[in-house]
Amino acid sequence: MAKLAVVAVGGNAVNRPGESPTAENMFKNVRETAKHLLDIAEEYDLIVTHGNGPQVGNLLVQQDLAKDVIPPFPIDVNDAQTQGSLGYMIVQSLYNAMIEKYGTTKKPVCAVVTQIVVDKDDPAFKNPTKPVGPFYSEAEAKRLSEEKGWVVVEDAGRGWRRVVPSPKPLDVIEKQAIEDLVKGDVIVVAAGGGGIPVIRKEDGTLEGIEAVIDKDRASSLLARVLDADLFIILTAVEKVYLNFGKPDQKAIDVMTVEEAERYMREGHFHKGSMLPKVEAGVDYVKATGREFIITSLEKVHEALRGETGTRIVP
C-alpha cells in the first residue's frame, strides 16, 4: 500500500475572498484545486477534507429569508447538505481531472457523508467561536446581532462574522467505511466542514446537535484514528507567521511541538484563522510522532519537497 495522506483544503479552495458564491465560481475554484490534489494522489493514498463555513452560513441566510415559507433546518442538517454539495463538486472535479490528465479514471473517487461525535456538555455550546457565513461591516454585523440574536465577532482583520458553537471532535462514526475505501484504492472525500456534529445518547443511538465542528480539528482526528502517514492543511498563506500582519512579522519554516505550544500561549495565532490549524497539527504530531505541514494550495508541491511551508515536528 502507498502511504496515506489526509489533506484539508480551506474555504479559499471553494470561494475566493470577495467572490460571489455562485455554483459556477465554486466549480471553477474546485477544478483548480483538484489538479493539485491529483498530484498528491500519485504519491499517496488520499483522503480530502474541506471546510464549509461560508457555505453553511449562506444556507442559514437563505433559510432565514425564506422562514415564513419553508421552516429552517437545524445547523447539523445544513452541515449535511453542504457536505453533500461540496463533496459532489470535489468528486466530480477529481474525476474529470483524471480524465484530462490520464485519459481515464485511474482511481474511483467517493464522498462519504461523515458524522463526528461531540460531547453535549462541551463548554463550546456556551461560548460560540466558529465563524460561519459572509463577512459584514461592523455596523451591519451589530444590526444583525440585535435583530436575530446572533453572536458576531471581528474575524482576523477581514470583517465581522456570525459565530456558532464549535465543540471538540471525539470520534468518527464512519471511520471503518473510510478506511475500507482507502484500502480499496479509492480517493475519499470525508469529514466535510468538520463533519456533522452528533451526540451519543445513553442507549447508544446518535442524534444531531446544532454546531459547526472546526474542519482542521476534525481532519486531525481523522488523520489520527486512521494512522495517516502525512497530514497537510492547505490555507491562504504559504507559511505560518509570528506577529502576522505587523511590521515585524516573521515566517516560520519549522517549529517543534514545544515551540508551537509556546507561540500559542503567547497569542501569536488568531482564534478564527491560524490557531485551530496549529492546534490540529500539534495534536497530530503528538499522537503519531510524524511531521505536519501547513502551506498554500499553490505551494503544496514545493512543501512536500521541503522547500516551503511550515512544518511542525516532534
User: Where residue 1 falls among pLDDT bands split at 50, 70, 90?
Assistant: low
pLDDT higher than 70, residue 241: yes
Q: Grid coordinates in use for 191?
A: 469529514
pLDDT on residue 162: 84
pLDDT tens digits for range 197-233: 999 999 999 999 988 899 999 999 999 999 999 999 9
Residue 116 forms beta bridges with which residues?
172, 197
Q: Which of 78, 192, 215, 281 is catalytic?
A: 215
Residue 115 is classified by DSSP as E
Query: 32: burial class by Cβ within 10 Å (0-12, 13-18, 19+)?
Result: middle
Q: Grid coordinates in use for 183?
A: 484500502
pLDDT on residue 144: 86
CA-wise closest residue to 243 among 267, 276, 268: 268
Over range 106-115, report the average pLDDT: 96
pLDDT on residue 133: 73
Over range 120-140, report the average pLDDT: 87
Please state the domain extents for the chain.
3-117+170-313
What is the amino acid identity at position 176? Q
User: Where residue 245 falls among pLDDT bands split at 50, 70, 90?
Assistant: confident
The answer to whether 50 and 41 have CB atoms below 8 angstroms apart is no
- Whether the CA torsion 163, 169, 172, 173 is positive or negative: it is negative
Q: Which of 15, 58, 130, 193 is catalytic?
A: 130
Residue listed under C-alpha cell 467561536: 129
Which residues fall within 8 angstroms of residue 244, CB to CB, at 6 or more apart?
268, 269, 270, 274
pLDDT tens digits for range 281-307: 999 999 999 999 999 988 999 999 999
pLDDT tens digits for range 56-77: 888 988 988 898 899 989 889 9
Over range 75-94, report the average pLDDT: 95
pLDDT higher than 80, residue 12: no
Is 130 an active-site residue? yes
- The share of the chain scoring above pLDDT 90, in percent, equals 69
The CATH fold assigned to 3-117+170-313 is Carbamate kinase (3.40.1160)
- Whether the CA torsion 259, 265, 267, 271 is positive or negative: it is positive
Is 277 an active-site residue? yes
User: Where residue 278 falls among pLDDT bands split at 50, 70, 90?
Assistant: very high
CA dihedral 231, 33, 45, 305 (to 10 degrees): -60
Q: Which of 10, 272, 277, 309 is catalytic?
A: 277
What is the amino acid identity at position 115? Q
Is 159 an active-site residue? no
pLDDT tens digits for range 27-53: 999 999 999 999 899 999 999 999 887
pLDDT tens digits for range 149-196: 888 998 877 788 888 888 999 999 999 999 999 999 999 999 999 999
φ and ψ of 48, to 5 deg: -105, 130
pLDDT on residue 132: 78
pTM of the full structure: 0.90
CA 46 – CA 62 distance, rounded (Å)? 34
Is 183 an active-site residue? no
